[in-house]
Amino acid sequence: MTSIKLRRIATSANGAGFPHAYQGKTDGDLPFFKVSDFNLPGNERYLSKCTNWITRSDAVELGARLVPPESILLPKVGAALLGNARRIVTRPSLFDNNILAIVPRIEDSRYLHYWATTIDAGELSYPGPVPSLTGSEFLDLLVPIQSVPHQRAIADFLDDETARIDALIAKKRQLVRLLGTHYREERRMRMLRGLNPITGSGLNVPDWRVAQLGVLVGLQRGHDLPIDRRNDGTVPVISSGGPSGWHDEAAVMGPGVVTGRYGTVGEVYYVDGPYWPLNTTLYVRDFRGRYPKWVYHLLSVLPLDSDSAKSAVTGINRNVIGVLRVPVPPPDEQRRLVRELDAKARYLESVTSRLDAQITLLAEHRQALITAAVTGQIEVPGVAAR
């Protein structure tokens, strides 16, 4: 097998600027792809869906270059470049200036697509705060070249094998989701067992009472902290999306419970020790005789986004949350529930960790198989006969 520079069998094309005035049209003559379209369901390999369409006259005004079907698109700027996404267009297409196109001349586009997935764009890009890539760097790469029939045989083989691996990965990811859903539902049922969801009154659990959340705990808005002060120290800073750096002093002594007030509304975090809750959060300032871990599990199953629709900015209000009615088991029952739920959470984490490791190994095997097939390191059925 010999190798030649990609520019001998393909050309490159740069995208065009895409002003907001042209964006948002859901029909038109031509699709205008952005990097975000790479992540649409169904666009994992072939770009069959697009969120922006324009007319041919619009394309002329923008000076956008049309690439033919079978062209390969890849991000060429910023963090998206480092993800090494590669997609094949299925029809004449346009794309913005964050994308680079590789246009095969006569080669099998599937073969070139598989080869392109073996290239780490981060190693080719210009260093700096915003990595970038030009067509010249890509076109100067050496491609293991074979006859077009051999390319097709390799692409057919990889289509079958990667589809099988992808199906296994999808099943394991689905199992992870199902395990998480099962745990969340079980925790919700256990924590709200003594509450009638319609009337808010107690059910047939004699030793459980029902009270407003604001009577059980006190909720306080988090504290301001300049972003340039979150880079040192040993105390975790908690934002609406979870841990967000470290600080050199604590605003609250732990253990404690924090929930997002804006942004990731309804996410609840348990903190073992001292911490600094940011102003995008609410934290429990007074447990009033309750156990922090029990309050954590309770807040995790409550509808904390109940008033988000009342404002243009999604968020939660501590006063609205405070009137939610919740069941209150006796202290011994609280401890028992916490032990059981923590044990199930540890088991779920263990199983999920093993599944994630298996997914990682399958993804690595998939990439290794592609590399070996396109570089001739393994014998591909049908290649020798063509």
pLDDT at position 310 = 45
pLDDT at position 240 = 86
pLDDT at position 122 = 85
Q: Is residue 204 part of a domain?
A: no
AA letter at 285: R
Could you give the angle at the alpha carbon of 62 between the alpha carbons of 57 and 63, nearest 5°?
95
Q: Is residue 206 part of a domain?
A: no
Q: Is residue 183 part of a domain?
A: yes
115 and 171, same domain (yes or no): no
pLDDT at position 308 = 42
15 and 109, same domain (yes or no): yes
Full domain range(s) for residue 13: 2-145
CA dist., res. 208 & res. 20, Å (int): 57
pLDDT at position 368 = 96
Q: Is residue 175 part of a domain?
A: yes
Question: Which of 56, 97, 57, 53 shows the shortest CA–CA distance to 73?
Answer: 97
pLDDT at position 196 = 59
385 and 259, same domain (yes or no): no
Question: Which of 67, 77, 126, 133 shows the shortest CA–CA distance to 102?
Answer: 67
CB 154 within 8 A of CB 146: yes
77 and 45, same domain (yes or no): yes
> Which strand (E) or helix (H) includes residue 210?
strand 209-212
Select from 129, 145, 161 the last residue of a domain: 145
190 and 333, same domain (yes or no): yes
pTM above 0.75, yes or no: yes
What does the buried/exposed string (b/e) look like for 221-237 if buried means 16 or more CB atoms within 10 Å of the residue's CB?
ebeebeeeebeeeebbb
Q: What is the full per-residue pLDDT of the chain (386 aa) written as tens digits?
A: 789 999 999 999 999 999 999 999 999 999 999 999 999 999 999 999 999 999 999 999 999 999 999 999 999 998 889 899 999 999 999 999 999 999 998 778 999 999 999 999 888 887 777 888 888 989 999 999 888 899 999 999 999 999 999 999 999 999 999 999 999 999 988 888 766 554 555 555 667 888 899 988 999 999 998 877 777 788 999 988 888 889 988 999 889 999 888 766 678 999 999 999 998 899 998 898 889 999 999 999 887 764 444 444 456 778 888 888 888 888 998 999 999 999 999 999 999 999 999 999 999 999 999 999 999 888 887 765 44
117 and 41, same domain (yes or no): yes
> Strand 142-145 to strand 53-54: parallel, antiparallel, or no bridges (unpaired)?
unpaired
Number of domains making up the chain: 3
pLDDT at position 145 = 86
pLDDT at position 339 = 94
pLDDT at position 343 = 95
279 and 384, same domain (yes or no): no
155 and 84, same domain (yes or no): no
140 and 11, same domain (yes or no): yes
Select from 265, 297, 319 the last residue of a domain: 319
φ, ψ of residue 219 in degrees (nearest 5): -105, 135
CATH code for the domain in which residue 41 is found: 3.90.220.20
Alpha-carbon distances, residue 307 vs 249, 311, 318, 321 (angstroms): 33, 8, 10, 8
184 and 163, same domain (yes or no): yes
CA dist., res. 144 & res. 56, Å (int): 37
Q: Is residue 207 part of a domain?
A: no
AA letter at 263: G
pLDDT at position 312 = 43
Select from 319, 349, 372 the last residue of a domain: 319
Q: Is residue 90 part of a domain?
A: yes
Q: Is residue 202 part of a domain?
A: no
pLDDT at position 191 = 87
Q: Going by C-beta distance under 8 Å and a sequence separation of 6 or more, which residues neighbour residue 161?
A: 366, 369
Q: Is residue 200 part of a domain?
A: no
pLDDT at position 384 = 54
10 and 98, same domain (yes or no): yes
6 and 139, same domain (yes or no): yes
